[in-house]
Amino acid sequence: MLKMPQQHCIRFLREAEGCSIRDLARQMGIHWRTAKKYTDHPTGTNR
């Protein structure tokens, strides 16, 4: 699980900057599935 500042950064880059999932993953140094998880579900859970 990512820390809250990282989660906020992912959401900001996706919503405000319009970055793709792939670009987010590269910038943050995380797997693309992790980036997708936090953009699709803001809390990071699939529930």
Contact 10, 3 (CB under 8 A): no
pTM greater than the 0.85 cutoff: no
pLDDT at 46: 65
Contact 37, 25 (CB under 8 A): no
d(CA 17, CA 2): 20
* pLDDT tens for each residue of 8-34: 999 999 999 999 999 999 999 999 999
Question: Residue 47 pLDDT > 90, yes or no?
Answer: no
Q: Assign 41 a pLDDT band (cuts: 50, 70, 90).
A: confident
Q: Assign 44 a pLDDT band (cuts: 50, 70, 90).
A: low
pLDDT at 17: 95
Amino acid at 41: H
d(CA 26, CA 43): 21
